[in-house]
């Protein structure tokens, strides 16, 4: 059996767009040792393909990180497979809260060095000595304390469209970059309550263990991340402290948690929190674009890219020859062409957006 997709992505996207099948988007992760990563990857691909699963899965010697969608009609079968799996049984499935079922159009399972790129040498500290997990209710209670420091462990384009009230938002491009930046910011607050959060919890699993190793005394993490928090808030009728959208790494690029729109179109500055990728195949820049600008620029990030997409396909291919842009969902999404997007220079030390806790940090440093 072929262990990869062989159908053109445009055909698959069109099928997904036209499909009336109800699908659930969900994510899960687990740290566990995989002795033969490639064999595990192939076995997983066979099983998930048989279940009609679509999505993106990373496997490494340290475990698995998956964002997928499954048909509602096959979800019970999928759950049965998880329950029978020695490696995955008991795993928490983070089910999307704002989902149209159009999140993925194919199944892709990749072998990676790590399931999340963090730049850490795991042999130098105990990765299982993690921070204390908090439910949504416990998170709300602890963050009501003005002495608690809330840290967003995500990238700038994620926190730009949504974040928790009073959170520190490091203006970083990657998780790897965030780790030392956050440590430097909180160096004088090692005895304070530090509460971290991310999309589904996986980044905080590693970050909390690392910060405990670095001497932070009271480290907490939001169990299941923003996705699980939003689910618990809705089911239990709790106060929602998250404002805006939760950025997600699939075709949706975001799920709404509150009605607040806290960001702006990168081209005109109008209130907007809709991420998109530039329609120029030689660019694919991730940016925020309102409907008016999408129409004005034909879905492109600039006039230059707009001109390119109207060229004959042969000329477009020549222009991007040797340039493999691929999917830019994970890219930093900064460009001097985007007038209303922050572009900090490398000379700036520890840039932070939405700095409501600057006075708190000054106090902590006394």
Q: Is the pLDDT of residue 344 over 70?
A: no
Q: Is the pLDDT of residue 3 over 90?
A: no
Q: Is the pLDDT of residue 360 over 90?
A: no
**Virtual CA dihedral for 38, 43, 47, 48, nearest 10 degrees?**
0
253, 276 Cβ separation under 8 angstroms: yes
pLDDT tier at 14, thresholds 50, 70, 90: confident
Cα distance between residue 46 and residue 81, in whole Å: 12
Measured at the CA of 194, the angle between CA 66 and CA 188, to 5 degrees, comes to: 130
Mean pLDDT of 240-253: 94
Q: Is the pLDDT of residue 343 over 80?
A: no
Lowest model confidence (mean pLDDT) among 86-90, 180-184, 299-303, 340-344: 340-344
Burial class of residue 118 (count of CB atoms within 10 Å of its CB; 0-12, 13-18, 19+): middle
Q: For the chain, report the end-to-end CA distance as a whole number of angstroms.
A: 64
The count of other CB atoms within 10 Å of the CB of residue 8 is 9
Lowest model confidence (mean pLDDT) among 5-9, 41-45, 70-74, 203-207: 5-9
The reported pLDDT for the residue numbered 301 is 93
In sequence order, the β-bridge partners of residue 353 are: 169
The count of other CB atoms within 10 Å of the CB of residue 113 is 10
Residues 6+ apart with CB under 8 A from 260: 162, 243, 244
pLDDT tier at 29, thresholds 50, 70, 90: very high
Measured at the CA of 224, the angle between CA 29 and CA 184, to 5 degrees, comes to: 95
Lowest model confidence (mean pLDDT) among 64-68, 167-171, 200-204, 331-335: 331-335
The reported pLDDT for the residue numbered 94 is 92
Measured at the CA of 107, the angle between CA 106 and CA 112, to 5 degrees, comes to: 130
- Per-residue model confidence as pLDDT tens digits over 32-73: 999 999 999 999 999 999 999 999 999 999 999 999 999 999
Higher local confidence (pLDDT), 44 or 330? 44
Lowest model confidence (mean pLDDT) among 75-89, 270-284, 327-341: 327-341
**Which residues are annotated as catalytic?**
198
The reported pLDDT for the residue numbered 331 is 60
Mean pLDDT of 337-362: 56
The count of other CB atoms within 10 Å of the CB of residue 266 is 27
The reported pLDDT for the residue numbered 336 is 87
Residue written as token pair 């030689």: 282
Q: Closest Cα partner for 164 from 151, 178, 182?
A: 151
**Mean pLDDT (the chain, rounded):** 88
The reported pLDDT for the residue numbered 17 is 78
The reported pLDDT for the residue numbered 2 is 58
Mean pLDDT of 143-148: 95
The reported pLDDT for the residue numbered 209 is 94
Cα distance between residue 60 and residue 65, in whole Å: 9
Alpha helix locations (H) across the chain? 9-18, 37-50, 75-84, 136-143, 156-159, 175-185, 202-213, 225-236, 291-296, 303-309, 313-319, 358-364
Q: Closest Cα partner for 178 from 208, 200, 148?
A: 208
**Virtual CA dihedral for 288, 292, 294, 300, nearest 10 degrees?**
-80
Pairing of strands 193-197, 149-152: parallel
pLDDT tier at 243, thresholds 50, 70, 90: very high
The reported pLDDT for the residue numbered 112 is 94
pLDDT tier at 347, thresholds 50, 70, 90: very low
CA 363, distance to chain mean position in Å, is 32
Lowest model confidence (mean pLDDT) among 2-6, 122-126, 162-166, 276-280: 2-6
DSSP of 41-96: HHHHHHHHHHTT-EEEEEEETTEEEEEEEEEGGGHHHHHHHHHH-TTTTTPPPEE-
Cα distance between residue 149 and residue 361, in whole Å: 9
The reported pLDDT for the residue numbered 234 is 95
- Per-residue model confidence as pLDDT tens digits over 263-319: 999 999 999 999 999 999 888 899 999 999 999 999 999 999 999 999 999 998 888
């Amino acid at each position: 059996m072929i262990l990869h997709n062989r159908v053109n992505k445009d055909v698959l996207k069109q099928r997904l767009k036209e499909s009336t099948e109800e699908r659930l988007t969900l994510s899960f992760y687990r740290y566990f040792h995989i002795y033969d990563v490639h064999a595990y990857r192939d076995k997983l691909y066979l099983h998930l393909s048989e279940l009609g699963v679509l999505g993106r899965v990373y496997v490494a010697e340290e475990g698995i990180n998956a964002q997928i969608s499954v048909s509602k009609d096959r979800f019970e079968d999928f759950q049965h497979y998880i329950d029978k799996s020695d490696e995955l049984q008991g795993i928490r499935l983070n089910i999307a809260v704002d989902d149209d079922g159009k999140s993925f159009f194919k199944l892709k399972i990749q072998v990676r060095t790590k399931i999340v790129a963090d730049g850490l040498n795991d042999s130098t500290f105990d990765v299982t000595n993690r921070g204390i997990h908090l439910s949504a209710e416990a998170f709300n209670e602890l963050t009501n304390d003005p002495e608690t420091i809330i840290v967003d462990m995500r990238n700038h384009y994620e926190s730009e469209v949504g974040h928790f009230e009073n959170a520190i938002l490091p203006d970083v491009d990657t998780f790897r970059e965030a780790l030392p930046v956050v440590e430097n910011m909180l160096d004088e607050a090692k005895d304070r309550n530090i509460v971290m959060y991310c999309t589904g919890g996986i980044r905080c699993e590693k970050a909390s263990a690392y910060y405990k190793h670095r001497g932070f005394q009271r480290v907490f993490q939001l169990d299941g991340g923003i996705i699980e928090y939003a689910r618990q808030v809705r089911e239990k009728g709790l106060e929602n402290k998250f404002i805006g959208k939760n950025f997600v790494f699939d075709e949706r690029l975001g799920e709404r948690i509150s009605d607040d729109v806290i960001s702006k179109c990168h081209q005109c500055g109008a209130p907007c929190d809709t991420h998109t990728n530039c329609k120029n195949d030689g660019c694919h820049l991730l940016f925020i674009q309102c409907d008016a600008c999408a129409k004005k620029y034909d879905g492109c990030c600039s006039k230059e890219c707009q001109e390119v997409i109207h060229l004959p396909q042969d000329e477009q291919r020549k222009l991007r020859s040797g340039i493999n842009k691929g999917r830019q969902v994970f890219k930093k999404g900064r460009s001097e062409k985007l007038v209303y997007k922050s572009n900090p220079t490398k000379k700036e030390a520890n840039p932070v957006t939405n700095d409501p806790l600057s006075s708190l940090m000054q106090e902590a440093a006394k």
